[in-house]
Structure 1
């Protein structure tokens, strides 16, 4: 089953209106039925220093989300957008999905970065998302930024039926060694035999490229710089498989866990 992919690498500010304008301009060039992936914090803004949260207006964010929902319907696209989200008197780091039929879905980051702890509320669900493309139904898993470091979360999503991973990040930390996060993404794709669709911020300090990776670990498309760009490709979701996952020695893993838990 074929799916058209558009990965948008865009600059992000702490100005909601400016971010919305940039996203709106980008969406003018998308194609119906495309899966479009934007970076972490693309709508609200994001950064290592989260003190700007004190100036973010939840009402402005709600309005911007409504605008994106309307745009997704008008363009008939499957849109994934990162944002900080204010709910029940607390902020979380979220990935929003806007469907062509108006349906919305939210994934809240469950493994927070150190700068987020104490400021953001961690999510409590790691569930898959079924969507409906013109070619048929597909099940997706979503992860955000540092969750690249926790392969068990990706494996859980694969076990739950995810055929591809949507990955939103704001990886722009000059202290991170070059190439490590890129290697992590290739590993998450190859070890789970799933596509990885990754969008990062356009930033000169970027340390993880925006790219599309096949279930074999092949990089199918990649942004060649830290500039604003959209990379496009078509993937065949029938290439996703469980050949390696089915070979896991889960009997030994269970015994090891039991030995540690019940000495």
Structure 2
């Protein structure tokens, strides 16, 4: 499966963001799995005050346009956006298959700056990516959720073969290298592939990269500048050797298989 990670800017102008998405997709090939950062369609920043001026209709239209682009290009897109939801807004990771449809993961562990403005999700669904040889199951996480390894282990236990991580991480208060280390750990401890897409920003503190189930960095973009990373992964490398050795008689994470899958049509 070929992954294309896009490290691009995302501001508070929906049409500008859509043009950036179009530019990225002009560089893709049929069948690519494309990752775009957190807040890619709506815009996002630590200060969420501009959210008050964001038109829900404009965001809904942008989502519909990306669904059409995925169908036209015959690619599969993971893309972040703030979304209108439940009389408010949520922080979401969207998956657009090449069928004109889409699915939504709503961030469950909100950052402190989000908690008075956004509504948290309540489920950790997996998403199935159709491939020529069968489906690939993916778990999506957003930004701050890198700090909560139990969520990633839950997704791996639920069948995720790869983690898709979308972030908008540009904070000068963060210690250099910590989030990069977290990404490697989440991949290696669960023996899953991990692909990360961050915004292009001078203060970027989390890399855009692809990590193997062994924790090997397979490709990484230089911080601070727009760029694309293309890498083909071999999913036969995914394993559950470590997960199978857990002392669940002492400590276990409950997996309730009856929880709903990622919501369709927002």
Range of TM-score over shorter length:
over 0.9
Cα distance between partner residues in 2 of 1:213 and 1:124: 28
Q: Relative to structure 2, which stretch is displaced further, 225-234 or 180-189?
A: 225-234
Which segments of 5 or more consecutive residues in structure 2 lack a partner in the other structure? 253-266
Q: Paired residue for 1:182?
A: 180
Residue aligned with 2:113, SS: coil
Residue aligned with 1:8, SS: strand
Structure 1 or 2: more helix by fraction: 1
CA RMSD, Structure 1 to Structure 2 (Å): 0.8
**Runs of 4+ residues deviating >4 angstroms:** none
Residue aligned with 1:32, SS: coil
Q: Paired residue for 2:235?
A: 237
| Cα deviation, residue 89, structure 1 | 1.2
Q: Paired residue for 1:133?
A: 131
8 A Cα contact 2:204 2:223, kept in partner = no
8 A Cα contact 2:33 2:76, kept in partner = yes
| Cα deviation, residue 103, structure 1 | 2.5
Which aligned pairs between 1:200-239 and structure 2 lie closer than 5 A? Answer: 200-239=198-237
Q: 1:91 aligns with which of 89, 93, 98?
A: 89
Q: Paired residue for 1:29?
A: 27
| Cα deviation, residue 225, structure 1 | 2.8
Normalised to the residue count of structure 2, the TM-score between the two structures is 0.93
Cα distance between partner residues in 2 of 1:65 and 1:165: 22
Residue aligned with 1:80, SS: strand
Q: 2:53 aligns with which of 52, 55, 74?
A: 55
Which segments of 5 or more consecutive residues in structure 1 lack a partner in the other structure? 255-263
8 A Cα contact 1:148 1:184, kept in partner = yes
Query: What is the aligned length?
Result: 252
Residue aligned with 1:142, SS: strand
Cα distance between partner residues in 2 of 1:191 and 1:57: 41
Normalised to the residue count of structure 1, the TM-score between the two structures is 0.94
| Cα deviation, residue 102, structure 1 | 1.8
| Cα deviation, residue 183, structure 1 | 0.1
Cα distance between partner residues in 2 of 1:242 and 1:196: 15
